Chains A and B, each alone.
Chain A
Amino acid sequence: MIPTMLHLLAHPFIRIVIALVLTMAFVGVMGLVLVYAERKVAGFIQRRPGPFEVGPHGILQSLADAGKLVGKQLVRPFGADPFLFWAAPILSLAPVVVCFLPIPFGPSLTGMQINVGLVLILAFSGLNTLALCLAGWGSANKYSLLGSARAVSQSVAYEIPLLLAVLAIAFQSGSLDLTEITLAQSRSILSWNVWVQPVAFVIFFVSLVAETNRAPFDLPEAESELTAGFHTEYSGMGFGLFFLAEYTYMIVGCAVASSLFLGGWEGPVADGHWWFLAKTFALLLVMMWFRWTYPRVRFDQLLNVCWKWLIPLGLANLVVTALVIKVVG
């Protein structure tokens, strides 16, 4: 009986299913943790305690908020497209789970080790744009519409420098598999790609902030301009799913960044996955730090940064990388 079970578990399909289920659990827990962390960071930067009342130091606050969101009535505005309106939040969260499959959390802790892992992540994270677009269109609200128009042009623009930065690393490592890229950085802290490719790291991180619609690039939501942008009309878990998706994309992005540039699971003493989580969280904290420091950029400035600075820089970086690899290697 038990050997049969093990045999079954080793089956790639079962493995993916298990990985997906674990990922869902991971996403849910991390969403709660991140919301809590974000509010604590905001509180500390603003010299107040942040959530404090639910549980010791408020650690159960996000659980209470999640309970509240689940319990709320789902309201569809008059004139909204019922199918698109409800499809959008689901479409926003569902593909992100797949993005976790190729991420190496530890030396052997990978959902599915495939040699095009990076492409898979980039492809599935692109689906989020569609969700924001549908949400804005299906809401029958002018603010949502403006928000979704912003979301689409922003995502389309920032995927390019993101890819250029990733390509430079791929050139250098000769692989699109995150595990191999991590292994290539395993010699010492100095062999991390962040030292070898600092320009690519900056481009990647800035594009990541923009891709995940985080401040100072949170234009699709821009609450002081568009009230809440694409999710203006969503209540309860409709909003909750968008919210969760935003944080999950942040985790995916920062996890990829730590594999690509910060040596992934590499680190002394502790197990690999702890190092991986620590690096991911450090990057997440930096993103939060940005959010609570900067004003929001304007839309044309946002696109100018992309088209006039990041893309030329990324291309130049790519060319230099290619040349160096040709000459040296």
Chain B
Amino acid sequence: MAMVAKTLKRLWSLVVGLEVTGKEFFKPWLTVHYPRQQVDNLDSYRGHIELVPRDDDPAIPRCIMCSRCQDICPSRCITIAFHPVENGDMAPKPLWLNPEIVSPGSRGALPAPERIERVLDRFLLNYSLCSLCGLCVQNCPVAAIRFSKHVYFCGTSREAFHLDLLERMQLGNGISERNPAACP
């Protein structure tokens, strides 16, 4: 008799399993129907890095060309090109840093230099090598690098992921990129 009860109990476990999946059948979908819908937590998304413009002039980056990001990057995906200020260049302005903007892990912004003695030519990022570790963002002394919200970033060639961040910043750091329709 005990054996029959045991067998019935075991068989009942099969019915319980069916009951669970049967209930789930009638519950609403959990998946997000991209591209008709989008996930709602893109604010915390960390895309590739981008340059932060200066508060007083959105065309000039906060970057002081100290090359720390280039040195610390484990994947060596950042290349900075700059030249010293010469007479023909635009007049260098004193760099004014907002003391409230501090890169997350850094131990406070460096004292702002009176004048920048260099001009940034290119800030190249080879995104195909980047592992998004955030060491450059953390180690930037003037919080000139941040993670972008460039979610729907796709390309058809490797070269599409070689970015000039300076150019990108001057074009507005891709304001329209969070729209999936902008993806080619």
Contacts and interface: CB of A to CB of B under 8 A. Distances in A.
Interface of A: 41, 44-49, 52, 289-290, 292-294
B37 to A, nearest CB: 11
Nearest to B32: A48
Interface string B18-58: 10111011111111010000000000000000000000000
A137 to B, nearest CB: 35
A294 B29 contact: no
A52 B29 CA distance: 13
Given A49-B31, A289-B21, 8 more contacts: A41-B25, A44-B25, A44-B26, A45-B24, A46-B24, A48-B30, A48-B31, A49-B33
Contacts, number: 32
B29 A48 contact: yes
B31 A47 contact: yes
Contacts of B27: 47
Interface residues of B, number: 15
B24 A289 contact: no
B88 interface: no
Contact of A47 (B14, B22, B24, B33): B24
B30 A47 contact: yes
B17 interface: yes
A319 to B, nearest CB: 19
A292 B24 CA distance: 11
Contacts of A41: 25
A46 to B, nearest CB: 7
A52 B30 contact: no
Contacts of B20: 293
13 contacts: A41-B25, A44-B26, A45-B24, A45-B25, A47-B24, A47-B29, A49-B29, A49-B31, A289-B18, A289-B21, A290-B18, A293-B18, A294-B17
> Does more than half of chain A's interface fall in helix, strand or loop, or is it mixed?
loop
Nearest to A47: B30
A49 B26 CA distance: 12
A41 B21 CA distance: 10
Nearest to B7: A309
Q: B22, B29, B30: which has the most chain A beta carbons within 10 Å?
A: B29
Contacts of B29: 47-49
Contacts of A47: 24, 27-31
A47 B21 CA distance: 10
B135 to A, nearest CB: 37
A52 B36 CA distance: 12
Nearest to A286: B18
A289 B22 contact: yes
Contacts of A49: 29, 31, 33
A45 B24 CA distance: 5
Contacts of B30: 47-48
Interface string B131-149: 0000000000000000000
Nearest to B36: A52
Contacts of B21: 45, 289, 292-293
B14 A294 contact: yes
Interface in B2-25: 14, 17-18, 20-22, 24-25
B11 to A, nearest CB: 10
A44 B17 CA distance: 16
A163 to B, nearest CB: 23
Nearest to A43: B29
A261 B31 CA distance: 39
Contacts of A45: 21, 24-25
A41 B26 CA distance: 10
Q: A41, A45, A52, A290: which has the most chain B beta carbons within 10 Å?
A: A45
Q: B14, B18, B21, B24: which has the most chain A beta carbons within 10 Å?
A: B21
A293 B33 contact: no
A44 B30 CA distance: 10
Nearest to A295: B17
Contact of B33 (A46, A52, A292, A294): A52
A293 B31 contact: no
